[in-house]
């Protein structure tokens, strides 16, 4: 885990929400200079930090609303740090918790060099990455429907299917496999939704593939040349990793992929 350790004159911690955000600014000694709740707008934010912009760093927790603030800070040449939500346990571990306290804790962690950093994904590929994640979400829902059909057959102790039912042509005569009309209606609902997914997902995948060729055609072709990789795995690697150069060592990349098991020193037990 990387921590932001660069020193500044002013440290701004923000508890960011969809419509409002609580801003806390500390100086180098930890004195609170600003502590107020403002609306989520560029005008309000820039006004709140106007007097401290000579050497200011801003930190927020990695929630779904950080895009606009990161882009605004980049545009205004303000240092921006994205805190890793899963590792910022100091915010969630206190007995008292509200927006004011959370904003102050973020600013204090930032001043102490204890903000665990998340990757600020570049805006030009950000929306396509979200679209790829949406595709993966829909594919998981489709898999749940297929699993429900298979589990229903097991629930009523029916014979196994002759073929895998993941493909449309393999689902011909599927409903006749279920003699009970109510069970058949339940399975018919699953099949109808699966058929709808099968119509939408290939179009979405072709669109994302076209975007990938525009974003980084060399990396996309290289990833597709990996033995065993089809279309989807290279797209996931491209849009989740983005730039492999952001990992100085192979060990850090393996840790990012969650391929390194955590260890606990005996002295810490």
Q: Give the domain CATH number at 10.
A: 3.30.420.40
pLDDT at 42 over 80: yes
Out of 95, 116, 137, pick the residue that ends a domain. Answer: 116
Helix 181-215, helix 217-224: angle, nearest 10: 130
* Domain membership of residue 221 as a residue range: 123-256
Residue bearing tokens 């990012």? 256
Q: How many domains does the chain have?
A: 2
Using CA atoms, how far apart are residues 189 and 180, in angstroms rounded to an integer?
15
The pTM score is 0.84
Same domain, 81 and 188: no
- Measure the CA–CA gap between 121 and 21, rounded to whole angstroms: 21
Structural domain includes residue 264 = no
Residue 10 in this model has a pLDDT that exceeds 70 = yes
Average pLDDT (59-87) is 94
Same domain, 62 and 130: no
pLDDT digits (tens, 9 = 90+) for 160-190: 998 889 999 989 999 999 999 999 999 999 9
pLDDT at 38: 97
132 and 244 fall within a common domain:
yes
**Residue 269 covered by a domain:** no
Strand order in the sheet with 32-39: 32-39, 20-27, 10-16, 56-61, 79-83
Is the pLDDT at 123 greater than 80, yes or no? yes
Is position 191 within any domain? Answer: yes
Whether 1 shows a pLDDT value over 80: the answer reads no
Pairing of strands 56-61, 79-83: parallel
pLDDT tens digit sequence for 237-262: 999 998 888 888 998 888 888 888 77
Class of residue 261 by CB neighbours under 10 A (exposed 0-12, middle 13-18, buried 19+)? exposed
The verdict on 91 and 211 lying in the same domain is: no
User: 108 and 26: one domain?
Assistant: yes
Please indicate, yes or no, if residue 179 is contained in any of the structural domains: yes
């Amino acid at each position: 885990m990387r921590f932001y350790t660069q020193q500044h004159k002013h440290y701004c911690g923000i508890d960011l929400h969809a419509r409002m955000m609580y801003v806390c600014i500390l100086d180098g000694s930890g004195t609170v200079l600003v502590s107020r709740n403002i609306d989520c707008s560029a005008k309000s934010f820039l006004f709140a930090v106007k007097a401290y912009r000579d050497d200011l760093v801003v930190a927020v927790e990695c929630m779904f609303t950080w895009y606009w603030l990161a882009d605004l800070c980049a545009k205004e040449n303000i240092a921006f740090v994205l805190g890793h939500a899963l590792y910022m346990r100091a915010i969630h571990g206190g007995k008292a918790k509200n927006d004011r306290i959370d904003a102050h804790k973020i600013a204090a962690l930032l001043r102490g060099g204890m903000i665990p950093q998340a990757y600020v994904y570049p805006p030009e590929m950000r929306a396509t990455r979200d679209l790829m994640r949406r595709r993966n979400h829909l594919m998981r829902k489709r898999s749940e429907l297929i699993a429900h059909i298979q589990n229903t057959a097991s629930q009523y102790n029916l014979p196994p299917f002759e073929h895998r039912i993941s493909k449309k042509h393999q689902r011909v005569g599927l409903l006749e496999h279920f003699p009970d009309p109510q069970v058949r209606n339940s399975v018919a609902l699953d099949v109808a939704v699966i058929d709808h997914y099968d119509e939408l997902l290939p179009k979405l995948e072709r669109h994302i593939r076209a975007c990938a060729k525009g974003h980084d055609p060399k990396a996309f072709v290289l990833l597709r040349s990996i033995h065993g990789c089809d279309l989807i795995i290279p797209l996931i690697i491209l849009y989740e990793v983005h730039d492999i150069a952001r990992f100085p060592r192979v060990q850090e990349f393996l840790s990012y992929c969650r391929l390194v098991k955590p260890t606990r020193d005996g002295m810490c037990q």
